[in-house]
Structure 1
Amino acid sequence: MPQRGSYKTRQREDILACLSNNTQRYLTVDGVHEALRTAGSEIGRTTVYRNLEHLVAEHELLKAISPKGEALYRLSPEQSAAQLVCLECGRAFPLDCHMVDDFTSHIKAHHGFKVDAHKTVLYGTCPDCLSQQANH
């Protein structure tokens, strides 16, 4: 018997399909909700939020927090990935880079601390915002 809440539902499948169509960007709860409503779903915002959080707990989704405090979600890539979040515009990007492995190995070897790269978020300024700043 499946654990409570771990079974597949139509709503969960719709949410996963929505995120599958947006694999290169993070979406807010409202972004997922709006996309589903536009597609004809009558799913409620609270149901979207609960399902997103459950999928994060099951490691099917990555979650980052924008500088505005909004939760951002995207499908988990095959490999664990750190995340980059822009402090200017709030966009988040996956950091699928072998240097993260080197960094986490260094932290473990020299500091005795095991970093969970899957939950690592680095904050800074994205290339688009840097370009806009240079033009002002």
Structure 2
Amino acid sequence: MTNRRNTIQKDLVRNAVYEMKKHVTANEVYEFIKEAYPTIGKGTVYRNLDILIEEGALRKIEVPDGPNRFDFTLNNHYHVRCVKCGDISDVDMDEIPNLLERIHNTHGIKFLDYDILFKGICLKCREKEKEELHGQKGNV
């Protein structure tokens, strides 16, 4: 790992991820910073996200069929993605101990790491569905 200097832009990006308190996309970070610093470039934000991941200050969550997300919780943990709105949240459970060592490797693959992403429906979307259902019953 190369020793990089701290820059104002890198601090802005790191602080934005922490302040937003959710699993954010790179574009959400850009839009958040742009409100206070309208001259910041999208490339600057994206580049600094990559640097912060490389330095171990942020964690990247690769999302199938969606934009990658960035997380300030660095220890191994699991996530759930709402199939309705796409929001990603932490799953409150202990990490499965020695998961990589427990894999039955029959294909000669060297396992490096993992991201476990559960699917579900978040509370907001469930409540919205409930409201829509009640609204439909009232119209019958």
Name the TM-score, length of structure 2 as normaliser: 0.71
- Matching of residues 12-27 of structure 1 within 5 Å: 12-23=10-21, 25-27=22-24
Larger % of strand: which? 1
| Residues 34/55 of structure 1: CA separation in 2 closer, same or farther (3 Å cut) | same
Q: Give the letter for the 1:10 counterpart.
A: I
Aligned with residue 52 of structure 2, among 35, 51, 55: 55
Q: What is the rounded CA distance, in whole Å, between the counterparts of 1:115 and 1:130 in structure 2?
A: 36
- TM superposition shift of 1:39: 1.5
For structure 1, which runs of at least 5 residues remain unmatched after alignment?
Answer: none
- TM superposition shift of 1:85: 1.9
Partner in structure 2 of residue 92 of structure 1: 88
Deviates more, 1:33-42 or 1:10-19: 33-42
Q: Give the letter for the 1:109 counterpart.
A: R
Q: Give the letter for the 2:121 counterpart.
A: C
Q: What is the rounded CA distance, in whole Å, between the counterparts of 1:66 and 1:120 in structure 2?
A: 9
What is the aligned-residue RMSD (CA, Å)?
2.9
Name the TM-score, length of structure 1 as normaliser: 0.72
Q: What is the rounded CA distance, in whole Å, between the counterparts of 1:66 and 1:111 in structure 2?
A: 25
Tell me the secondary structure at the aligned position of residue 93 of structure 1. strand
- Matching of residues 1-136 of structure 1 within 5 Å: 3=2, 6-23=4-21, 25-66=22-63, 68-77=65-74, 79-98=75-94, 100-102=95-97, 104-105=98-99, 108-109=101-102, 111=104, 116=113, 119-128=114-123, 129-133=125-129, 136=133
Q: What is the rounded CA distance, in whole Å, between the counterparts of 1:48 and 1:110 in structure 2?
A: 37
Instruction: Quote the sequence identity (%).
Output: 22
Q: Is the 8 A contact 1:15 1:32 kept in 2?
A: yes
Per-residue CA deviation, residues 84-110 of structure 1 (Å, 9 max, x unaligned), is 222321111123521x324x54x6336
Q: What is the rounded CA distance, in whole Å, between the counterparts of 1:76 and 1:56 in structure 2?
A: 12
Say how many residue pairs are matched.
Answer: 127
For structure 2, which runs of at least 5 residues remain unmatched after alignment?
Answer: 134-140
| Residues 123/91 of structure 1: CA separation in 2 closer, same or farther (3 Å cut) | same
Larger radius of gyration: 2
